[in-house]
Structure 1
Amino acid sequence: MSLITPDAGLIIWSLFIFGILFFLLAKYAWKPIIASLSEREQSIEDAISLAAKTRQEMLEMKAGNEKLLAETRAERDAILKQAKEISDKIVADAKTIAQTAASQETEKARVAFEQEKNLAVASLRKEAAKLSIEIAEKVLRNQLADKSAQEKLVSDLLADVKLN
């Protein structure tokens, strides 16, 4: 049972050694331990502060990136819209130019056709007149082959002239 209840001398020596140990620890070890604990506490606070600051910067960068992305999308959409408008304008201009050129070519062809038609009609008229004269000449020669037919034709012509 002596191990459970210590003697007074053992208690005194234990207290004396504890006091010396406490004094030595307080004199030499306590300040470095407290300093290292304070330093450790400060480094933890700095790390937490840095993490919070970094998180805030990341949130700001994310917001900035989203804003930049939205601006880029808007700019892209504007460029695509402008390109489509330019493309539509170019297509419309090309259609207008093609229609104008086609109508000019059609008009030229119509004028050329009209000229050719007029030339053909004039040529046909000349040819018809020539043929009519030849036919009339042959008919008159046949009809005026005898003298009595000639006299009758002359008298009929003179009668027509006097009436007018």
Structure 2
Amino acid sequence: MEKLLNEFSIGLFFWQTVLFVLLLWLLYKFAWNPILKAVNDREEGIKNALDAAEEAKKEMQNVTADSEKLLKEARAERELLLKEAREIKEKMIADAKEQAQVEGDKMLKQAQATIESEKKAAVADIKAQVASLSIDIAEKVIKDELSDKKKQQKLVENLLDDASLS
């Protein structure tokens, strides 16, 4: 360090200072602005890229939320349609059962009415046949009874005895 102080020259120091200032001025004039501009441009580009990434992230969240909302709505609509379909099916089945019950009751009543009318017709027919047979039998019995005079007398006496006892 002593050697440096002993060999110090003011002229050399002046020219070195002038050259250094000139070098700084040249760097400032030609290099500093482009370097700062490049750094600022890069900083701006990074900032814009981060903003764009943040915007894309928000948009992606919105799209995801919209997709979830649409999916929920679609599921709810599907459930509603399935519920309506089940209700329609159950109503159709109930209506068909009710109609079948009504038709069955109607057919049963018609069958009962038919049976009753046929029963009445059969009873009337049987009564007519019984009456006819009774008349035929009575006619034959009376002919047989009335053909003999003694039998006629006995029949009249029996009828009078029965009439007086009553």
Q: Which range, TM-score by smaller chain?
A: 0.7 to 0.9
- Mapping for residues 1-164 of structure 1, pairs under 5 Å: 23-164=25-166
The one-character-per-residue Cα deviations of 1:69-92 (angstroms, maximum 9, x if unpaired) are: 123212211221122122112211
Q: Deviation above 6 Å: which 4+ runs of structure 1?
A: 18-22
The one-character-per-residue Cα deviations of 1:120-143 (angstroms, maximum 9, x if unpaired) are: 111111111101110121122123
TM-score normalised by length of structure 1 = 0.78
Using the alignment, how far apart are the partners of 2:82 and 2:103 within structure 1? Answer: 31
The one-character-per-residue Cα deviations of 1:26-59 (angstroms, maximum 9, x if unpaired) are: 3234323422331222122111111111112212
Using the alignment, how far apart are the partners of 1:125 and 1:25 within structure 2? Answer: 144
- Tell me which moved more, 22-31 or 39-48: 22-31
SS of 1:69's equivalent in the other structure is helix
AA of the residue aligned to 2:81:
I
AA of the residue aligned to 1:98:
A
Using the alignment, how far apart are the partners of 2:26 and 2:144 within structure 1? Answer: 170
SS of 2:147's equivalent in the other structure is coil
- Tell me which moved more, 86-95 or 111-120: 86-95
Percent identity among equivalent residues? 44
Q: How many residues align?
A: 151
AA of the residue aligned to 1:160:
D
AA of the residue aligned to 2:152:
Q
The answer for unaligned runs of 5 or more in structure 2 is 1-14
AA of the residue aligned to 1:70:
K
- Tell me which moved more, 126-135 or 20-29: 20-29
SS of 1:144's equivalent in the other structure is helix
RMSD of aligned C-alpha atoms? 2.5
Using the alignment, how far apart are the partners of 1:73 and 1:123 within structure 2? Answer: 73
AA of the residue aligned to 1:159:
D
Using the alignment, how far apart are the partners of 1:106 and 1:45 within structure 2? Answer: 90
Using the alignment, how far apart are the partners of 2:86 and 2:73 within structure 1? Answer: 20
TM-score normalised by length of structure 2 = 0.77
Using the alignment, how far apart are the partners of 2:65 and 2:78 within structure 1? Answer: 19
